[in-house]
Amino acid sequence: MNLQDMTIMGFSNLWHTRLRSTLTILGVVIGIGALTSMVSFGTGMQKNLTDAFTKNDLFTSMNVTPKDLNVDEMMSGDLSGIGKMLDEKPKPLTDSILEAIREMEGVQLAFPDESFAGKLQFNDNEVSKNMQPIPAAASAFYPYNDLLAGELYPHDSSQSVVIKWETLRDLGLIVEYPDLDYTLSRKDSLKGTRIVSPDSVIGRKITLITAELNIPSNPLGILMGDDFDPFEETSREYTICGITRPRDEFTFDRSRSALVIPPVTARKIPRLSFSSVWDILGEGKEEGTYSSIYVRVAEMEVLTPVREKIEAMGVGVFALADELDEIKRAFLIMDSLLGAIGTIALIIAALGIINTMLMSILERTREIGVMKAVGGSENEIKFIFFVEAACIGLVGAVFGLLLGWVVTRIANQVMNTMVLPDNQGPVDLFYFPLWLILGAIGFSVVVSLAAGLYPAIRAARIDPVRALRHD
């Protein structure tokens, strides 16, 4: 027999036992469906997180601090190490350091990463929020190059501001956008919340109220009962020039603030600010220094050289890219655990393949004897059974992938409808990369061949004389 004859015979034997073969293939379908759907959830989470980090420039950015903030040491619980780190005298982040960083090759953007507290008044509502100065040069980068409406202010001394979508919601306005799926509740109606278009917000004035310490000119007056307020509030109006897009579950909030304001304009606002952990830990910030500096580089490949140059200045640097290997390792562990659970179903399916093929041997004992009597070799007999096993694995893998895809589509729809917030657009929580598809097919075929190994060997060793006497 040639290769084509043996292959056709293998497929023909499965067709003659259609019901039993279908039930066996169904077991493989369920196993592959469970395996791929579970692993696709892990790969989907990894893809969403990695894409979000890349989109938000987290792999091409770093934060410069006065001290070397060793996250691993702080998380270890080693009090002596933490104490030693806090005792180190920080190097002030001055304008000269900031300018030196900006002049480094590969640096696209560098600015003080600070914020201050205040109150926002708009639409007859008031909320307490944090504000952050961001330079106009950030308009070339996410998220300020992809605003929901408007654009970032043109220069650093502008009297315009960019407000977050979530801040407007807190102020009683739900700003429309294409994927918005929000229904006003009774609570919203009582609060006066309205759904509005972005154009109705752009160009309107918003009031920013900040406070500073009020030092009395006559301290003795306080002891004599004079009215005294330790804080003095300042109110200023700014024009809304842009609205950020709503933040989803996989978007990193880089600014951490409700309002983005030009840095030169922000310096003129009297305020109290405790924007740094170093201020809270007791080492007050000197005039003309910064608590932290944000640095963005052109690409991930130049991050390490730039980091080394900055560290040589005697300051601390933290970059999320340093944790990339740990993130990948964590997802690998998660994918392995999910894959192991799905593999259990495939192993059970493999037992079904063994049972099906052993039954096939009993029914075809005389047929096997005839093939050996006319010159069929043991290897040819084995090959026929291997073809049957491989066919079961291949067909089961294809339909298993289809089942896994359908299940993940349904699960994804349920998650987007019932779990994720109303203001968030649809998120694809599952992902089928090419390696998963090809790997599932290959794994199914290999497991099926392994399951068919024992039946194939047993069939090849049948004595043709006894087989011909078998009824």
Q: Where along the chain do its domains lie?
A: 3-54+327-469, 61-321
Residue 461, H or E segment: none
> How far apart (Å, rounded) are the C-alpha atoms in residues 340 and 372?
41
| 11 has a pLDDT exceeding 80 | no
Burial 333-349 (b: 16+ CB within 10 A, else e): ebbeebbeebbebbeeb
pTM of the model: 0.65
Q: Which of 323, 305, 285 is nearest to 67 (CA)?
A: 285
Secondary structure (3-state) at 299: coil
Strands 160-163 and 231-243: parallel
Classify burial at 26, counting beta carbons within 10 Å of its beta carbon; exposed 0-12, middle 13-18, buried 19 or more. Answer: middle
Rounded to whole angstroms, the Cα distance separating 278 from 259 reads 24
pLDDT in tens, 195-251: 899 999 999 999 999 987 665 555 555 555 555 556 678 899 999 999 998 876 555
The residue with greater pLDDT, 210 or 14, is 210
Distance CA 26, CA 30 (A): 6
pLDDT the model gives residue 424: 59
What is the per-residue DSSP string for 46-75?
HHHHHHHHHHTTTTSEEEEESS---HHHHH
Output the pLDDT for position 1.
Answer: 56
In percent, the amount of the chain with pLDDT more than 70 equals 79
Q: Given a cut of 90, is residue 160 above it in pLDDT?
A: yes
Tokens 């291949």 sit on residue: 394
C-alpha distances (whole Å) from 368 to each of 4, 329, 355, 364 are 18, 51, 18, 6
Tell me how crowded residue 219 is: count the other CB atoms within 10 A of its CB.
Answer: 9
On the question of pLDDT at 280 being above 50, the answer is no
CA angle, 277 then 283 then 286, to 5°: 100
340 φ/ψ angles, rounded to the nearest 5 degrees: -65, -40
Q: Please, are residues 92 and 289 in contact by the beta-carbon 8 Å criterion?
A: yes
User: What integer is the mean pLDDT of 78-83?
Assistant: 56
Q: Extract long-range pairs of 331-336: CB within 8 Å, 24+ residues apart.
A: 331/42, 331/45, 331/46, 334/42, 334/45, 335/39, 335/42, 335/43, 335/46
In the prediction, which pLDDT does 242 show? 95
Highest mean pLDDT among 4-13, 17-26, 276-285, 392-401: 392-401
| 460, 361 contact by CB (below 8 A) | no
Q: What per-residue confidence (pLDDT) applies to 281? A: 47
Position with higher pLDDT, 273 vs 318: 318
The proportion of the chain whose per-residue pLDDT surpasses 90, expressed as a percent, equals: 29
